[in-house]
Chains A and B, each alone.
Chain A
Amino acid sequence: MASLDDLKKRISSVKSTQKITKAMKMVAAAKLRRAQESAEKGRPYSDKMNNIILNLSNGISDIDNAPKLLSGTGEDKVHLCVVMTSDRGLCGGFNTNIIKKAKLYFQKILDEGKTLKIITVGTKGYDQLKRLYGDNIIERISFKESKNINYFDADKVGKIVIEKFEKKEFDVCAIFYNQFKNVITQIPQEQQIIPLKISEKDENSSEDNYEFEPEEDEILSNLLPKNISTQIFKAMLENSASEQGSRMSAMDNATRNAGEMVDKLTIEYNRSRQAAITKELIEIISGAESL
């Protein structure tokens, strides 16, 4: 059995770990609120963007001449995957969940004999993927330096993607991120951004007749690259809210576990202290009796 001194040391070390996890939980909670706010504020932009694109693509008469970003290259050989993860660890299953989802997709692509290219956003994703898919990673991006999620970072990623698309380096592009549902639940998402999948429109927007200036095609070809950045930005916002939520619940669990451990160790400590006292008493009594 561990000596009293050892137990004491262990108790105090678990206690200080608990202090750290508690502090981290508090920080994550504060950051989560901010991240959630900005995710909500960002929603009108991407919603409106979606709406406009929907209206535009309905107005396109000549499908064959539609911009490639919308209709695709007509092939399905090279897939580009943008895997978005966090730059910091200690956030529960956050990164692992995205990676798991992404790996499933990768496996499917490779099984079908297609070429896979990966861009990782965030250092944790790169760390987890480099062993298995190191050769497939063509670019790694990290925004460790920027304090807040901002549109220009997303725009940078978007520009890289579009540049590669224009060089015909890939046919299909998908992004992976965690969608924030609530603090406990984050759903890993796989979203195809090139060619754009247009969701079914709701009936109330069906009969709009717009005047376009300049022509639809021209607006679309200008708007689609922006939409890609917007989608990536949206994913980044969702991701950061998810990261903080996931960290918060992970740290909450850790704090609780540490509490349980302290309780257990304290009981053990008390028991062995009592055992030592009893042993001493027995020794004294039996010594007195033998006299």
Chain B
Amino acid sequence: MSEEYSVEIVNPEKSFLSKNDVTEVVVPAFEGEIGILKDHISIISFLKPGIIKIFSKSGEESFYVNDGIIEFKDNNLSILTSLILNLKDIDKEKISEIQKSAEEELNKSDINDQEKYLLDQKLEVLKSIN
């Protein structure tokens, strides 16, 4: 039996990526990374800023996501995100830009703990990319 399933990544502007020969996807879920294989139980979870890794027959791809929500059902994985960047052709300047705005946000006084946690995560990931 094949070990492949399909994944679709959509952002508000368009369908970003659609693949149906995926063997494993690792997503940065809110409570830690989740690796999803075929026949995983139906799950809904949301993402923190981090790296999505997609393993397929044709190789491995990595994407940076800002936030998002995933839904896995009947061997279909949907990832909804507002900002996604392919690490292969990433723009250093763009990363620095996001990093800077995140830092500014972090310095504001009126953020709550969860926001702070997410921003810290974001900065960490961005730094590791840069």
Contact = CB atoms under 8 A, between A and B. Distances in A.
Q: Which secondary structure dominates where chain B touches chain A?
A: strand
Contacts of B10: 44-45, 48
A41 B13 contact: yes
A233 interface: yes
Contact of B12 (A151, A208, A209): A151
B71 A214 contact: no
B121 interface: no
Interface stretch (B40-48, B54-62, B89-97): B40-48
Size category of the A interface is 20 to 34
B78 A48 contact: yes
A223 B12 CA distance: 14
A150 B14 CA distance: 11
B86 interface: no
B44 A42 contact: no
Given A211-B42, A233-B12, A49 B80 contact: yes
B100 interface: no
Contact of B45 (A45, A213, A230, A233): A213
Contact of B43 (A45, A150, A155, A212): A212
B84 to A, nearest CB: 12
Tell me if A's interface is mostly helix, strand, loop or mixed.
helix
B127 interface: no
B2 interface: no
B105 to A, nearest CB: 12
Interface residues of B, number: 24
A212 B12 contact: no
Nearest to B12: A151
A26 interface: no
B45 A151 contact: no
Given A56-B44, A211-B41, A48 B80 contact: yes
Nearest to B81: A45
A223 B30 CA distance: 13
A34 to B, nearest CB: 12
Contact of B11 (A45, A208, A211, A214): A45
A48 B71 contact: yes
A244 B45 CA distance: 38
Given A52-B71, A219-B69, A45 B12 contact: yes
15 contacts: A45-B12, A45-B80, A48-B78, A55-B44, A154-B12, A208-B42, A209-B42, A210-B44, A211-B42, A211-B43, A213-B34, A214-B30, A223-B46, A230-B12, A233-B12
Interface of B: 8, 10-15, 29-31, 34, 41-46, 67, 69, 71, 73, 78, 80, 82
Q: Which 5 A-B pairs have the closest CB atoms?
A: A41-B14, A151-B12, A213-B45, A211-B43, A45-B10
